[in-house]
Chain A
């Protein structure tokens, strides 16, 4: 993993000192809330429904055991014993006191972490593939490029007051596990026929109230021009993105309104100019960073053999592990979606346990996924059974990865000041309704995503089944949609029709899965069947009037 040098450390330390001063000024009454709010937001400190909430950045979703352990300790020391992992690979604490916030940032800085730019109209934390550096299908390890991007975007003086927030995702595999095309910028590292690496830039995607899939703007930008190209993309957006209407201010609206071709033309023009300025870090810097992401010391003699005689273990291995590029190793997905639980929440003890497992069995590394789970990226297959037993004891061995109960859900109206309806209770009821793992596996891959408002933090547009909570005259109401997807076949969901109450939407989901089971052909997922047969059969089942004897 990347390790700070004295430059990186002094930057986060300076930030802690600056924020400590700002908090003191606020508590002493020297600055008003109006003046203070943008400052605290730049440090990820929101005022939510019940208290302050602190969002801590997990750069490209990668953590060491020491960092993870500290996240658990912060939950105990400053919060109420738990944290919430988010769809942007970050962690949030829900019960923070303003007077503690500078100390928390200081604790984070002691393990090379921070909350910089986790809010505000600036470049947010870059997300990436949770299997980076481990996946069998990886073309290029995206992490060194994401780290380069982290440094470039940190305290960027020109792009701190953009029209709206700006989210970048970076991947290096053919399989997109980071919902790249639904970001303001998605960068895919690709190789050309000559074997050279290039950056494919997708610009202008996003969810929110106007979901859009990003078009390709840059086909093959050389890696040593990536920063310059980003400068060009951002400068065009900063100058011409709409500022008259908050809801039309994201870059997707600019690209949509002027068209991808015109946006590309402007970016190319700016890019040509920027290339003359020498803004790009040299090759030596990329090489220096790459040095931190060398392959760990795998045991070349590790075996792929696995004793699967314990059926529960066998199920978990089948569902929750993923092919590793190294023989004898695998990638472990730890589900934070227990039946009836809160998606993405983990207790301080669970967080520390995962840290311990990473230290002992995964070369000191963990990842946070955008699906709100945790990954141990480099696990020897011979250690799997021990790990599974320890996870099981801690309630972390639910074998439901990518199944209907592996639900993405935003905090919703239980915590969030922006929400219109609660998300978590719906997730809990669905996971209870489908608690039987055999039934879930029969349904196969089924990505269900719930947002408690139009901002779509729960990615409902990209759910095979999506649920959006709305406020209908003060009463929670849930809109259902089908057909969203976030990978290589990115698509946006279509609303089924009138909304439901909480129990009604759970029933409707169940009816939809019945239609799927009745109509599917060999090998089809829910999404495939929906795409083949369309909305009508689902709609008919969901909105059918109860019969007289019903």
Chain B
């Protein structure tokens, strides 16, 4: 499992098993949690400082709720590992990265070179998100 994970962070991987959101609420020492599509990422906001890993599950690639979950966590300052798991495909990687994911555990392994190519698909971006890339409008109008 771990060897299939594409990871774009410099810190040590967290090896704690991710617990469900419901378990996490009751278990004050858990540091890793897994969010399912129907769950509210905002429930985790009071506990961001003790979280080291959040897994966001994509049971099917077409269920896009995880993109919002990821952005919400990052927008509120979550700095730990944010991992997309499940039906994570090459053609979605670049958008996921833009929404704040910095690690990927796809069911079907993706080669690291292919992932790099996917991240480089767009020379620029139209929107400001949470990935630190300047939007095109910001480049057009430097402060």
- Chain A residues within CB distance 8 Å of chain B: 5, 7-8, 10-11, 14, 18, 22, 35, 38-39, 121, 151-152, 154-162, 235, 238-239, 243, 273, 277-279, 281-282, 284-285, 288
Check A11 against B123 for contact (C-beta < 8 Å).
yes
- A219: shortest Cβ distance to chain B, in Å? 25
B73-109 CB contact bits vs A (8 Å, 1 = yes)?
Answer: 0010000000000000101101110110000000000
Name the interface residues of B45-86: CB closer than 8 Å to any CB of A. 61-65, 67-69, 71, 75
Q: Which residues of B contact A154 (CB under 8 A)?
A: 126
- CB nearest neighbor in A for B129: A157
A160 neighbours in B (Cβ, 8 Å): 64, 67, 92, 95
CB within 8 A of B126: which of A151, A238, A277, A284? A151
B64 close to A18 (CB less than 8 A): no
- Interface-central residue, A7, A235, A288, by most chain B CB under 10 Å: A7
Besides A155-B126, A285-B137, 15 more A-B contacts (Cβ < 8 Å) are: A8-B136, A11-B124, A38-B91, A157-B96, A158-B67, A158-B71, A159-B67, A160-B92, A238-B64, A238-B67, A238-B68, A239-B65, A279-B128, A281-B137, A288-B140
- Chain A contacts of B25 at CB under 8 A? none
Tell me whether A282 and B141 are in contact (CB under 8 A): yes
B: residues with CB less than 8 A from A are: 37, 40, 61-65, 67-69, 71, 75, 89, 91-92, 94-96, 98-99, 121-129, 135-137, 139-141
**Closest CB in chain B relative to A472 CB, distance in Å:** 32
Query: Can you name the residue of chain B whose Cβ is closest to the Cβ of A163?
Result: B64
A-B pairs, top 4 by smallest CB distance, nearest first, are A161-B64, A157-B98, A157-B95, A281-B137
Which residues of A have CB within 8 Å of B121? 14, 18
Given contacts A10-B124, A11-B124, A279-B128, contact A285 B67 (CB under 8 A): no
Q: Which of A159, A243, A279, A285 contacts B63 (CB 8 A)?
A: A243
Q: Which residues of chain A have C-beta atoms less than 8 A from B89's C-beta?
A: 35
Instruction: Please name all residues of chain A whose beta carbon is closer than 8 Å to the beta carbon of B37 when the two chains form the complex.
Output: 243
Cβ of B69: which chain A residues have Cβ within 8 Å of it? 239
Q: Judging by beta carbons under 8 Å apart, are B141 and A285 in contact?
A: yes
Q: Are B122 and A155 in contact (CB under 8 A)?
A: yes
CA distance A288 to B98 in the complex (A): 26
Q: Are B122 and A161 in contact (CB under 8 A)?
A: no
Q: How far is the CB of A226 from chain B (nearest CB, A)?
A: 13
Instruction: Write the nearest CB–CB distance from B97 to chain A, whole angstroms.
Output: 8
Name the distance in Å between B114's Cβ and chain A's nearest Cβ: 11
Per the bound structure, the CA–CA distance linking A159 and B95 in Å amounts to: 9
Are B91's CB and A152's CB within 8 A? no
Complex: A167 Cα to B125 Cα, angstroms: 22
Can you give 25 contacting A-B residue pairs, CB < 8 Å?
A5-B140, A7-B124, A10-B123, A11-B122, A38-B61, A151-B126, A151-B137, A155-B125, A155-B126, A157-B99, A157-B125, A157-B129, A158-B71, A159-B67, A160-B64, A161-B92, A238-B65, A239-B65, A243-B37, A243-B63, A243-B65, A278-B128, A281-B135, A288-B140, A288-B141
Given A238-B68, A282-B137, A285-B141 in contact, is the A157-B127 Cβ separation under 8 Å?
Answer: yes
Q: Are B91 and A7 in contact (CB under 8 A)?
A: no
Chain A contacts for B127, CB-based, 8 A: 152, 156-157, 279
- Distance of A5 Cα from B67 Cα, bound (Å): 29
Q: Please give, as numbers and ranges, the residues of chain B lying within 8 Å of A152 by CB-CB distance.
A: 126-127
User: Contacts A18-B121, A157-B129, A160-B95 hold; do A277 and B67 have CB atoms under 8 A apart?
Assistant: no
Q: How far is the CB of A121 from chain B (nearest CB, A)?
A: 7
Q: In whole angstroms, how far apart are the Cα atoms of A476 and B109 in the complex?
A: 48
Contact B123 A14 (CB under 8 A): yes
- Cβ contacts under 8 Å, B137 to chain A: 151, 281-282, 285
Q: Is A239 touching B68 in the complex (CB atoms < 8 A)?
A: yes
Please tell me if the beta carbons of A277 and B135 are within 8 angstroms of each other in the complex.
no
Q: Establish whether residues B61 and A161, one from each chain, have CB atoms under 8 Å apart when the complex forms.
A: yes
A-side contacts of B140, CB under 8 Å: 5, 7, 284-285, 288
Knowing A11-B123, A284-B141, say if A161 contacts B67 (CB, 8 Å): yes
Q: What is the CB-to-nearest-CB distance from A39 to chain B, in angstroms, rounded to a whole number?
A: 6
Residues of A within 8 A of B124 (CB): 7, 10-11
Measured CB to CB, the closest approach of chain A to B100, in angstroms, equals 10
- Give Cα A11 to B68, complex, Å: 23
CA distance A279 to B74 in the complex (A): 14
A10 partner residues in chain B, CB cutoff 8 A: 123-124
Most buried by B among A5, A35, A238: A238
Residues on A with C-beta less than 8 A from B125 are: 155, 157
- Residues of chain A lying within 8 A (CB to CB) of residue B64: 121, 158-162, 238
| Chain B neighbourhood of A285, CB < 8 A | 137, 140-141
Docked CA distance A162–B95 (Å): 13
Q: What is the minimal beta-carbon distance from A281 to any residue of chain B, in angstroms? A: 4
Q: Quick one: given A151-B126, A152-B126, A157-B129, are A7 and B139 in contact (CB under 8 Å)?
A: yes
Return chain B residues, CB-CB under 8 Å to A14. 121-123
**Chain A residue nearest in CB terms to B38:** A243
Please measure, in the bound complex, the distance between the C-alpha atom of A277 and the C-alpha atom of B124, giving whole angstroms.
Answer: 20
- Bound-state Cα–Cα, A116 to B59, Å: 26
Smallest distance from the beta carbon of A37 to chain B beta carbons, Å? 11
Nearest chain-B residue to A284 (Cβ)?
B141
- Which of B123, B126, B129, B141 has the most chain A CB atoms inside 10 A of its CB? B126
